[in-house]
């Protein structure tokens, strides 16, 4: 089917299979920041903003993209520059597979929460999995990115 939507503030028109998951469509379009980890909504590696809400793009199908506005990490490089820098500085990146999902989650958390609060941040990160870092460095990096 033909799909028209906006991704990272650019108009896209493309063909996709109705059964294709959004994470796969995005990656086929060359937007590879969303990673396909579990494919079941459990790990957060595929996080994107979908009509302004952060979602797991492995749980959405291509037809849902019709007329939607999607933002991937590629569209937020400037806005997430400090978070990404702090991930590096704090040692919050090892294999990096989970990183774009955590950066997106951290960015969303910072947008919605003015004050630093480690406990609520940990709750917000609950849907993101990392097999390498033990999480504390990720928490530190996001807290360091807040005023
Ligand atoms: S790949 Fe989507 S949540 Fe794990
Ligand atoms: S850095 Fe490897 S899964 Fe998180």
Question: What confidence tens digit (pLDDT) does each residue in 77-94 have?
Answer: 999 999 999 999 999 999
CATH 1.10.150.120 holds for 81-144: yes
Atom index in ligand 1 nearest the CA of residue 35 equals 1
Atom index in ligand 2 nearest the CA of residue 94 equals 1
Q: What confidence score (pLDDT) does residue 92 get? A: 98
**Which of 62, 141, 50 is CA-nearest to residue 98?**
141
For 47-73, what is the mean pLDDT? 98
The Cα–Cα gap between 69 and 6 comes to: 5
Compute, in angstroms, the gap from residue 119 CA to the centroid of ligand 2: 21
pLDDT by residue (tens digit) across 13-45?
Answer: 999 999 999 999 999 999 999 999 999 999 999
Instruction: Tell me the domain boundaries of the chain.
Output: 2-75, 81-144
Three-state DSSP class for residue 86 = helix
Residue 147 has pLDDT above 80, yes or no: no
Choose one of 43, 54, 102 to mutate for the ligand 1 pocket test, by most ligand atoms within 8 angstroms of C-beta: 43
Ligand nearest to the CA of 40: 1
Q: What confidence score (pLDDT) does residue 114 get? A: 80
Tokens of residue 15, six digits: 């063909």
Q: What confidence score (pLDDT) does residue 8 get? A: 98
Compute, in angstroms, the gap from residue 129 CA to the centroid of ligand 2: 8
Q: What confidence score (pLDDT) does residue 25 get? A: 98
Q: What confidence score (pLDDT) does residue 44 get? A: 98
Compute, in angstroms, the gap from residue 132 CA to the centroid of ligand 1: 17
pLDDT by residue (tens digit) across 94-140?
Answer: 999 999 999 999 999 999 998 889 999 999 999 999 999 999 999 99
Answer whether 0.95 is exceeded by the pTM: yes
Atom index in ligand 1 nearest the CA of residue 59 equals 2
Q: What confidence score (pLDDT) does residue 115 get? A: 86
The Cα–Cα gap between 139 and 119 comes to: 10
Compute, in angstroms, the gap from residue 114 CA to the centroid of ligand 2: 27
Cα distances from 28 to residues 2, 5, 105, 128, 139, in angstroms, run 15, 15, 23, 23, 31
Q: What is the CATH number of domain 2-75?
A: 3.10.20.30
Compute, in angstroms, the gap from residue 45 CA to the centroid of ligand 1: 5
């Amino acid at each position: 089917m033909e799909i028209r939507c906006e991704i990272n503030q650019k108009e896209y028109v493309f063909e996709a299979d109705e059964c294709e998951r959004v994470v796969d469509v995005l990656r086929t379009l060359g937007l590879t920041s969303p990673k396909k980890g579990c494919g079941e909504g459990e790990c957060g590696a595929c996080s994107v903003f979908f009509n302004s809400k952060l979602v797991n793009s492995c749980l959405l199908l291509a037809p849902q993209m019709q007329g939607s506005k999607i933002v991937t990490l590629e569209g937020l490089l400037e806005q997430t520059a400090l978070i990404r820098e702090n991930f590096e500085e704090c040692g919050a990146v090892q294999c990096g597979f989970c990183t774009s999902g955590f950066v997106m989650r951290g960015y969303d958390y910072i947008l919605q929460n003015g004050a630093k609060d480690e406990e609520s941040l940990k709750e917000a990160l609950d849907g993101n999995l990392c097999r390498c870092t033990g999480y504390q460095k990720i928490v530190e990096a996001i807290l360091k990115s807040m005023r």
